[in-house]
Structure 1
Amino acid sequence: MAGIYIHIPFCKQACFYCDFHFSTNMAIKNEMVEAICKEIELQQNYLEGEIVNSIYFGGGTPSVLEESHLKSILNKLKQHNVIASDAEITFEANPDDITAEKLQMLFQNGINRLSVGIQSFDEEILKWMNRAHNSKEAFQCLEWIKESEFNNFSLDLIYGIPIATHEIWEKDLKTLVDFQPPHISSYCLTIEPDTVFGRWQQKGKLTEASEDYASEQFLYLAEYLQKSAYEHYEVSNFAKDGFYSKHNSSYWQQKPYLGIGPSAHSYDGKNRQFNISNNAKYLKAIQKNEIPAEMDLLTTEDRINEYLMTSLRTSMGCDLQYLKNELNYDLIKNAKPLIEQWKSSGLCILAGHHLKLTLKGRLLADKLASDLFLVD
């Protein structure tokens, strides 16, 4: 089983925290969709022999697409890939782009899962982050989703916002859960250098939230959602039973996937490739029937490190047998003192042939994984 990611590199405006690749120049939208369709043709052998069980429209903001654009891309995908009849097809959207009519159009065209960037219900925080939507639009879009044919959707919230209090965070979370979304994703606000917030930080106009502050909100998030019958199946992801994201899970399980569009990444099970993060250069290359991608040839050590990083973020944990059988690496033998130290500190447990982080350990997931990394 494999996945396909379609990167739509357009947004109405730039959120102050975002460092993803996008443009606010919509004049080339038609040309970009044509190029994306052309790349699907050029990449038709990348997933040869694989059945596609997930398609994900991300960005950017896919909800700026028109119906004709969506139809063109989906038709091209079906022409050049074997897509499972029960494939999960996710479409990211911003609240301000959602209407009852838009939801009906998406559903009728085969979209069966939504991912909506709420981020906060607080008006001042939305303005501070320069989100394109306001609080009223956030509530309205959720009402329309509840009245629509979609029964599979995910909502995003951001925590660790320095201008927000714990009370605001708890209110946002309660408000979200009251709508009973099948899936919730929640990420800590990070300040990236090449963003408005990054430049504010460099000038001393913004101080990132402390680790303790963010940790308190993460722990509240995890405990509150667990009490609300959500499974904490990945550090930043929570789902009702049966509503795990197929697409994102494939990343964490090292399954192959194809990325289409500028800045999109692909993985064939052994190596990675990265499309250029420049719209003009991407269009120019595709017009010449060239795929503007760089290859990253992974060593065995790279593959072990990537598996450690992704698997330890999940509730399934690191499969020690997979490491032995597929990558010829005995983690317990090579890192026993460190793992024993983690166990005694309450950071991890060994369950059968899986190494799993506790909730306390998940606070440090990336740091703990990096401590296990092999060096070429």
Structure 2
Amino acid sequence: MDQPGLYIHVPFCRSKCPYCDFYSLANTSLMRDWLDAVISEMGIYKGCFKTFNTLYLGGGTPSFLPGPHLEALVTQVRGHFAFAPDAEMSIETNPRDLTAEEAALLKTLGFNRINVGVQSFHDDELCFLGRQHNAKDAIAAVSRLRDAGFDNVGLDLIYGLPGQDMERWLDTLEKGLSFEPEHLSCYQLTIEKGTVFGRRKEEGDLDPIGEDVEREFFLTTSEFLTGRGYCHYEISNFARDTKHTCLHNEKYWRRTPYLGLGPAAHSFQEGRRWWNVRSVRGYCEALRNDRAPVEGEETLSPAQAHLESVALGLRTRRGFDSSEIVNQMERKKLDELESRGFLHRDGNRVVPTREGFLVAEQIPLYLCEEGRL
């Protein structure tokens, strides 16, 4: 697991979804400049990382790239960096992009793990979320991936929409399971500042669901999918079995080295984390002038690294090593959290329960600093 991962941020979409706060543009005018800049950035880090065993194209919408751009990108990646023979090669896709020809191209380029941004199998919910596809498009997209020979397909779904009831959400899950996906990511709709939904919330035009409803959706989702044989291995992620967890994302949760290329991408190596400028134009300009497009960096203190290790571990069913908890007060709090049903012991690992996942963000501060839970 100590082999590094490579992430490439593709910041282009057909349109900007009203809930999305990831950096992306609904404009293709700088796409060619971005591609040239990413290739230049590859040159900066050539030889700086060991052999990669994951590649993850995220965004934005990587499948929105024209075929020649995607081919050129993958060719340059392989020319600049070494990959393990069995490397996990992932790409995020939009159902509208997944024609039979696109699916065949992804297979030819060596991708072996496809994430499909389905979000819902109900057209009215897709319309509310500002998606450009409908339920039929999603069904056809997954079918084309199977026809192309992909045996590692993941579906991204969103729950907790205002007014959504449990029956409709379970119907979406049931439809998703009919494709026997190897992976499911089930995200609660969050309303972020700076997004269209965020502005609507500030104006009183959009009311998020309450905490009790959030809890019900989360617990029901976990119980439903684990009951159907899926492993709930991270707060929002489920895999058919352990070999189908997302190896790339596990690097983030385990503080394994990773390199991020593209605007707004983050990297981590030897305790140092750095991130690129959140602007395609600024990113391209820096690389045209032979400058690394880095906007900032940090090196965590031992205390900060300890807190982060615990926090990231609590996002996953792997948890963290009990040796991370060293002082008597922390151990006392750990015992208390176990008695309250938030954590349990698995050998020398401290692992969150389903209820523990619900409060995973609060537990580290409660353990390591003054706080209440």
Normalised by the shorter chain, which TM-score bucket?
over 0.9
Q: Distance in 1 between matches of 2:339 and 2:39?
A: 53
Q: Which amino acid aligns with 2:40?
A: K
Report the alpha carbon displacement of residue 307 of structure 1 after superposing the two structures with TM: 0.9
* Counterpart-to-counterpart distance in 2, 1:8 and 1:174: 31
Residue pairs, 1:1-376, within 5 angstroms:
1-47=3-49, 50-241=50-241, 242-293=243-294, 294-321=296-323, 323=324, 330-331=325-326, 333-373=328-368
Distance 1:266 1:222 in 2: 31
Judged with a 3 Å threshold, the aligned counterparts in structure 2 of structure 1 residues 357 and 331 are, in CA distance, closer, same or farther, namely: farther
Q: Which moved more, 1:246-255 or 1:2-11?
A: 246-255
Which 4+ stretches in 1 moved above 3 angstroms?
330-334
- Give the Cα–Cα distance (whole angstroms) in 2 for the partners of residues 331 and 45 of structure 1: 38
Taking the aligned partners of 2:165 and 2:217, their CA distance within structure 1 comes to 10
Question: Matched residue pairs, number?
Answer: 366
Contact 2:10 2:262 in 1 (8 A): yes
Deviations 1:130-149 (A, max 9, x none): 01211221111122122221
- Provide closer, same or farther for how the CA distance between residues 178 and 332 of structure 1 changes in structure 2, counting only shifts above 3 A: farther
Q: Is the 8 A contact 2:267 2:274 kept in 1?
A: yes
Comparing 96-105 and 143-152, the one that deviates more: 143-152
Could you tell me how far apart the structure 2 residues matched to 1:310 and 1:137 are?
Answer: 35
Secondary structure, in 3 states, of the residue corresponding to 2:17?
coil
Normalising to structure 2: TM-score of the pair?
0.95
Distance 1:96 1:66 in 2: 13
What is the Cα deviation at residue 118 of structure 1?
A: 0.6
Q: 1:374 to 1:70 in 2, by over 3 A?
A: farther
What is the alpha-carbon distance in structure 1 between the residues aligned to residue 204 and residue 125 of structure 2? 19
Identical columns (%): 36
Cα deviation, 1:19-77, whole Å, max 9, x if unaligned, reads 00011110111111111111111122431xx1200000000000111222222222222
SS at match of 2:35: helix
Aligned partners of 1:98, 1:298: CA distance in 2, in Å?
A: 41
Contact 1:94 1:117 in 2 (8 A): yes
In structure 1, C-alpha distance between the alignment counterparts of 2:70 and 2:365, rounded to whole Å: 40
Distance 1:2 1:99 in 2: 32
Counterparts of 2:210 and 2:48, CA distance in 1: 43
- Counterpart CA distance in 1 for 2:369 and 2:332 is 16
1:270, CA displacement in angstroms? 0.3
**Match for residue 327 of structure 1?**
none
More displaced 10-residue stretch of structure 1: 198-207 or 211-220 = 211-220
How far 1:112 sits from its partner (Å)? 0.9
Residue 4 of structure 1: SS of its match in structure 2? strand
Taking structure 1 as the reference length, what is the TM-score of the superposition? 0.94
Asked if structure 2 preserves the Cα contact closer than 8 Å seen for 1:301 and 1:374, the reply is no
Distance in 1 between residues matched to 2:340 and 2:4, nearest whole Å: 38
Residue type of the partner of 1:41?
G
In structure 2, distance between residues paired with 1:237 and 1:192: 21
SS at match of 1:90: strand
Query: What SS does structure 2 have at the residue aligned with 1:360?
Result: helix
Q: Is the 8 A contact 2:234 2:316 kept in 1?
A: yes
Question: Once the two structures are superposed, what CA deviation does each residue of 1:97-152 show, in whole Å capped at 9, x if it has no partner?
Answer: 11111000110011111011111111111111101211221111122122221001
In the aligned structure 1, how far is the partner of 2:301 from the partner of 2:40? 31
Secondary structure class of the residue paired with 1:190 = coil
Q: Compared with structure 1, are the counterparts of its residues 80 and 371 closer, same or farther at alpha carbon in structure 2 (3 Å cutoff)?
A: same
- State the alpha-carbon separation in 2 of the partners of residues 341 and 147 from structure 1: 51
Relative distance call for 1:200 and 1:87 in structure 2 (3 A) is: same
Secondary structure of 2:144's counterpart equals helix
How far 1:374 sits from its partner (Å)? 5.4
CA distance in 1, matches of 2:270, 2:186: 28
Report the Cα distance in structure 2 between the residues aligned to 1:179 and 1:140, rounded to whole angstroms: 11
Distance 1:332 1:354 in 2: 17
Q: CA deviation digits over 1:310-338, x for unaligned, max 9?
A: 111111111234x3xxxxxx446441221
CA distance in 2, matches of 1:342, 1:250: 27
Aligned equivalents of 2:326 and 2:270: distance in 1? 21
C-alpha contact (below 8 Å) 2:30/2:281 kept by paired residues: no
Kindly tell me: are residues 282 and 374 of structure 1, through their superposed partners in 2, closer, same or farther at Cα, counting changes over 3 Å?
farther
What is the root-mean-square deviation of aligned Cα atoms in Å? 1.4
> What is the one-letter code of the residue matched to 2:282?
K
